[in-house]
Amino acid sequence: MRRDDRDDPFDDFFRELERMMNEMTGGDFDMHVERHGDGGQSHGRDIHLDIYEADDEIRVVADVPGVEKDAIDLKCDGEELTIDAAGPEREYFERVQLPVSVDEHSASATYNNGILEVTFERRDDSADIDLS
C-alpha cells in the first residue's frame, strides 16, 4: 500500500482491507491510495454515477459535491452525456456513454445537495412500416 507520511484516520481501515484482499488473492494485492500534495484538492476526479433505464426514459444520477449549480455544464448529442463541473476545491469531467439513443432535446436536470439528476426520453430507433 502506498501512502504519504501524514497521519490518516483511515490507516487501520486500509490495512485491514489490504490484509483481507491478500488473503483472498493469495498475498499479492497492492491497494493504491492516491494522495494529492495540493492541500487535499483533487482535480479531474471521476464522477460516481448510476444510470437507470425505464421503458420510456433514461435517468443519470451523479455525485458532484462541492460545486455550485451554475458551475455545472451539461451537453448531450443523443449518444453521450458530458458533465463538466468546477468548484473552488474540485473539478469534475466525465463523458457518459448512454445505453440507448436519447432525445437530447427532452433533457431535464436537477441539482440538489451535490446530487445531479439528468433525465432523457428514449429516442425511437426505428419506425413501423406498414406492409400493403
Give the chain's mean pLDDT: 79
Q: Span 72-90, mean pLDDT?
A: 93
Torsion angle of the four alpha carbons 99, 104, 109, 114, in this order, in degrees rounded to the nearest 10: 50
Tell me, what's the pLDDT at 5? Answer: 46
Q: pLDDT tens digit string along 92-127?
A: 999 999 999 999 999 999 999 999 999 999 987 666
Q: What is the pLDDT of residues 31-65, one digit of tens each?
A: 444 433 344 444 445 688 999 998 899 999 999 99
Task: Give residue 20's pLDDT.
Answer: 78
- pLDDT of 22 reads 73
Residue 17, pLDDT score: 76
Coil vs helix vs strand at 13 = helix
75 pLDDT exceeds 70?
Answer: yes
- Cβ count near 60 (within 10 Å): 24
The pLDDT score that the predictor gives to residue 1 is 43
Residue 128 banded pLDDT, cuts 50, 70, 90 = low
pTM over 0.85? The answer is no
Contacts of 104 (CB under 8 A, 6+ apart): 76, 77, 78, 120
The answer to whether 126 and 99 are in contact (CB under 8 A) is no
